[in-house]
């Protein structure tokens, strides 16, 4: 890969830049959960009203994915990441200074739409430059960075809400996004061969590609749609925003710890087993919180949800990078779109239950979604292997 003198030339250095971008994107995406109660109090609205700042963010994050996939193919992976990070910086700063809830919701929605390009573009970049036999390890490093961003977002989000305010929590990732828009100039554009030029039609013509996208929609609802409400649920029991953030931050700890285990088992344990284990973990976690929102149970649930994510989502992610190689960028962008559209729909649909503090029914929905996803995904990956396709790899 030819690079200029300003470009980083080693794979390790390139991955470090992608890790920083992935961590920043994940921080921005997950910081809102611990802030919702404080935002609602600041603007004197209900929790359901404040939740629009999360649900519209996730919705536009998902809906913008196909656009960024096409831009990535047309203009390049790095140029797309740099442009969208710069735009996310602008809208993130606007979020921090929003004087009304309506402007905050709009600014957060556009922030989500812009920063949405980061993680999928990073995944596609890895798919372009890293041979498949080593891709598992590199994707593991990217996901570890995302897990760190999630952990810091949930933990620091509550702390900042209680000390310096929720506006600082939005300003921090905005400034980091701006810095990364400059730093990523050091990342060379990957070469792309003719067989990687497929677009939307190629991705959607694949039966297995469509199945992966449908599963991602349900996964997003079951995982990201429900975890948004863990912090508000425990805060409704009188726990402070700082304490709630610390408890829910165990999600990231569970993800980081389990990712090491999944990495060691990858190649020896079949994909259906990872999916079954991950979805079962979500069923257990949401069942606990549906029964009681006691701090100890929420802490355990957050830890278990993180473990489930490491096992379940990582396997789906690896499948998405390989199921339609001729349209990798488009399929991965559609995968992310499905994931976050599912999340946005779930967050919005469940907001009235959250507003009424009906946590039992809310997390009961999570139990049903997780169980349904687990059965469907396990059956699908088993049939995929039996159809003579390359076994779905597992990454963490």
Kindly state the average pLDDT of the residues 335-360. 88
In the structure, what pLDDT confidence band is assigned to residue 85 with cuts at 50, 70 and 90? Answer: very high
For residue 198, the model assigns a pLDDT of 58
For residue 9, the model assigns a pLDDT of 64
Kindly state the average pLDDT of the residues 237-248. 84
pLDDT digits (tens, 9 = 90+) for 295-326: 999 999 999 999 998 888 878 877 887 788 77
Q: Mean pLDDT for the chain? A: 86
Question: Can you tell me the distance from the alpha carbon of 249 to that of 148, in angstroms, rounded to the nearest whole number?
Answer: 10
For residue 4, the model assigns a pLDDT of 43
Task: Give me the sign of the Cα torsion angle 45, 48, 49, 55.
Answer: positive
pLDDT digits (tens, 9 = 90+) for 113-136: 999 999 888 888 887 887 766 666
Kindly state the average pLDDT of the residues 86-105. 96
Kindly state the average pLDDT of the residues 9-27. 89
For residue 197, the model assigns a pLDDT of 56
Kindly state the average pLDDT of the residues 199-222. 89
CATH class of residue range 11-386: mainly alpha
For residue 372, the model assigns a pLDDT of 96
| Three-point CA angle 83, 152, 184, nearest 5° | 25
In the structure, what pLDDT confidence band is assigned to residue 88 with cuts at 50, 70 and 90? Answer: very high
Kindly state the average pLDDT of the residues 56-85. 88
CA 116 to chain CA centroid, nearest Å? 9
Q: Please indicate whether residue 34 or residue 82 has the higher confidence score (pLDDT).
A: 82
Kindly state the average pLDDT of the residues 127-154. 78
pLDDT digits (tens, 9 = 90+) for 364-396: 999 999 999 999 999 998 888 777 655 454 443
SS3 string of the chain?
Answer: CCCCCCCCCCHHHHHHHHHHHHHHHHHHHHCCHHHHHHHHHHHCCCHHHHCHHHHHHHHHHHHCHHHHHHHHHHHCHHHHHHHHHHHHHHHHHHHHCCCCHHHHHHHHHHHHHHHCCHHHHHHHHHHHHCCHHHHHHHHHHHHHHHHHHHHHHHHHHHHHHHCCCHHHHHHHHHHHHHHHHHHHHHCCCCCCCHHHCCCHHHHHHCHHHHHHHHHHHHHHHHCHHHHCCHHHHHHCCCCCHHHHHHHHCHHHHHHHHHHHHHHHHECCECHHHHHHHHHHHHHHHHHHHHHCCCHHHHHHHHHHHHHHHHHHHHHHHHHHHHCCHHHHHHHHHHHHHHHHHHHHHHHHHHHHHHHCCCHHHHHHHHHHHHHHHHHHHHHHHHHHHHCCCCCCCCCC
Out of 62-71, 242-251, 277-286, 304-313, the most confident range is 277-286
Kindly state the average pLDDT of the residues 223-250. 87
Which one, of 226, 213, 187, 243, lies nearest residue 369 by Cα? 226
Whether 176 shows a pLDDT value over 60: the answer reads yes
Kindly state the average pLDDT of the residues 346-363. 91
Write down the domain spans for the chain.
11-386
Percentage of residues in the chain with pLDDT exceeding 90? 42
In the structure, what pLDDT confidence band is assigned to residue 265 with cuts at 50, 70 and 90? Answer: confident
Q: Which of 22-26, 163-167, 190-194 has the lowest mean pLDDT?
A: 190-194
Q: Please indicate whether residue 15 or residue 215 has the higher confidence score (pLDDT).
A: 215
For residue 389, the model assigns a pLDDT of 58
CA 112 to chain CA centroid, nearest Å? 11
pLDDT digits (tens, 9 = 90+) for 278-296: 999 999 999 999 999 999 9
Q: What is the pTM of this model?
A: 0.76
Kindly state the average pLDDT of the residues 211-229. 92
Residues in the chain: 396
Q: Are 222 and 340 in contact (CB under 8 A)?
A: no
Kindly state the average pLDDT of the residues 1-11. 57
């Amino acid at each position: 890969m030819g690079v200029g003198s300003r470009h980083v030339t080693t794979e390790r250095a390139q991955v470090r830049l992608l890790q920083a971008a992935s961590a920043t994107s994940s921080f921005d995406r997950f910081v809102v959960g611990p802030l919702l109660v404080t935002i609602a109090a600041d603007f004197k609205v209900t929790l359901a009203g404040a939740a629009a700042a999360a649900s519209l963010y996730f919705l536009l994050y998902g809906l913008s994915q196909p656009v960024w996939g096409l831009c990535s193919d047309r203009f390049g992976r790095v140029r797309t990441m740099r442009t969208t990070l710069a735009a996310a910086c602008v809208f993130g700063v606007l979020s921090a200074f929003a004087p009304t809830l309506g402007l905050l919701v709009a600014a957060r929605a556009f922030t989500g739409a812009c920063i949405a390009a980061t993680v999928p573009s990073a995944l596609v970049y890895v798919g372009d430059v890293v041979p498949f036999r080593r891709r598992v390890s590199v994707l593991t490093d990217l996901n570890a960075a995302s897990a760190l961003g999630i952990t810091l977002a949930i933990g620091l989000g509550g702390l900042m809400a209680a000390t310096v305010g929720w506006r600082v929590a939005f300003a921090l990732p905005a400034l980091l996004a701006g810095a990364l828009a400059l730093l990523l100039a050091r990342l060379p554009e990957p070469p792309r061969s003719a067989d990687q030029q497929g677009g939307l039609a190629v991705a959607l013509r694949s039966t297995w590609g469509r199945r992966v996208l449908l599963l991602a929609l349900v996964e997003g609802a079951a995982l990201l749609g429900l975890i948004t409400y863990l912090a508000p649920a425990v805060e409704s029991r009188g726990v402070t925003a700082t304490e709630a953030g610390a408890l829910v931050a165990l999600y990231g700890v569970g993800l980081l710890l389990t990712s090491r285990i999944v990495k060691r088992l990858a190649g020896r344990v079949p994909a259906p087993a990872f999916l079954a284990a991950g979805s079962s973990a979500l069923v257990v976690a949401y069942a606990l919180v549906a029964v009681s929102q006691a701090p100890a149970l929420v802490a355990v649930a957050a830890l278990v949800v993180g473990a489930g994510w490491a096992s379940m989502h990582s396997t789906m992610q690896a499948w998405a990078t390989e199921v339609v190689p001729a349209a990798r960028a488009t399929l991965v962008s559609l995968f992310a779109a499905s994931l976050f559209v599912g999340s946005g729909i779930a967050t919005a649909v469940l907001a009235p239950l959250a507003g009424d503090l009906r946590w039992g029914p809310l997390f009961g929905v999570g139990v049903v979604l997780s169980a349904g996803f687990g059965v469907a995904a396990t059956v699908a990956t088993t049939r995929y292997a039996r159809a003579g396709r390359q076994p779905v790899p597992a990454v963490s």
